[in-house]
A = this chain, B = another copy of it.
Amino acid sequence: MRNKRPSPNRQKAVVLLSGGIDSSTTLCLAKKQGYKVSCLIFDYGQRHKRELDSAKRIAQKARCKYYVLKISLPWKGSALLDRRIAIPKPENPKTRKPENLIPATYVPARNTIFLSFGLSFAEAIGARTIFIGANAIDFSGYPDCRPDYIKEFNRLAKLATKTGIEGCTIKISAPLINKSKAQIIKLGKSLGVSYQLTWSCYKGGKFPCNRCDSCLIRAKGFREARIEDPLLNEGK
């Protein structure tokens, strides 16, 4: 991390860390802003377990405390949880209508579950900000990655907690929500994010498949940012 400006207060923050580009960039942004960061990493039975290792390594590199929470979602209902459902073929995110085409990789209420745990953790440790790498642009049209959703969760957080009722706000911050993947990668590069440690591929392989929605969005992002993806030649 370069150009770190430690805040005199060193306020605590929670970062929800998946090990992908967005959450890793968010983590570095939170640290740059001077927060004392604790990370929450979720093991929710995702196919791409590989991202958990990435998340842990990224948290360690950033010298942050982290918890890995194991979450059981026995009802499946998503291609990310159930190998019987195919990972969908990529579509052009610019042309599809998000309200009609939420893909099979959508996990029911995933970010609501993650933010709830984030809220509980933040309240328990006295953090006043929860950072999430949610992104509504260049992504898969998930409902719980949109600005309206984050705004609504912020309203809920005030009523849901002792902290909120007592007049202190626990704020959900989604600093990347309106950025393109290329903008995020450029920002991350300037912050010194170790993109070689990140993982994006939805499939559970040893190397990125370079074919799934998530791999293609990553590739397009690096291409548009004119930055070489350090994972580009893995497995070739």
Binding site for B on A (CB under 8 A): 67, 69-77, 99, 102, 106-113, 115-117, 119-121, 123-125, 143-144, 146, 148-149, 152-153, 155-156, 159-162, 164-166
Whether the pair A124, B75 counts as a contact (CB closer than 8 A) is yes
Q: Enumerate chain B residues within 8 angstroms of A74, measured Cβ to Cβ.
A: 67, 69
List 25 A–B pairs whose Cβ atoms lie within 8 Å, in order of A's numbering: A67-B74, A69-B74, A71-B71, A73-B117, A75-B125, A76-B124, A77-B123, A77-B124, A99-B165, A106-B162, A107-B120, A108-B121, A109-B116, A109-B160, A109-B161, A115-B116, A143-B162, A144-B159, A144-B160, A144-B161, A146-B159, A149-B159, A149-B160, A152-B156, A152-B159
Set B116, B121, B146, B161: member contacting A116, Cβ < 8 A: B116
* Given A99-B165, A165-B99, A156:B71 Cβ within 8 A: no
Bound-state Cα–Cα, A155 to B154, Å:
12
Interface of A is mostly: helix
Given contacts A76-B124, A108-B121, A144-B159, 15 further A-B pairs with CB under 8 A are A67-B74, A75-B120, A75-B125, A77-B120, A108-B120, A108-B161, A112-B116, A113-B113, A113-B116, A116-B116, A143-B159, A143-B162, A149-B159, A152-B155, A155-B156
Of all A-B residue pairs in the complex, the 8 with the closest CB atoms, nearest first, are: A77-B124, A109-B120, A108-B123, A75-B124, A109-B119, A108-B120, A113-B116, A112-B116
